[in-house]
Structure 1
């Protein structure tokens, strides 16, 4: 059984690839222009993870959590 979130991510990925005719150079150029022009932001997952780890109670860090 495929996770619904993964299915949605695959759909978004495929839609973006199709919009750029599956051309990686066109995709990269679009992503760079979005970054420079203030278009939709691309998330920084490292920052999210660091924030989540910092917000854990001390005993959760030592309890073998997946973080």
Structure 2
């Protein structure tokens, strides 16, 4: 695969650079997707934590 890229770079530099831009864009898009998923997971974790705190508070309130 590296030989193909090297050949492209030498023979068709404009195609090579366009391909490089597409690859970088793909990785940035993938990274953005992963970061967004992690943000959603963290938000759900915070929601779950808040619910557990409320349940614990209600439980202690009923016991007293």
Pick the structure with greater CA Rg.
2
Question: Shorter-chain TM-score: what band?
Answer: 0.3 to 0.5
| TM-score, normalization by structure 1 | 0.32
| TM-score, normalization by structure 2 | 0.33
Structure with the higher fraction of residues in helix conformation = 2
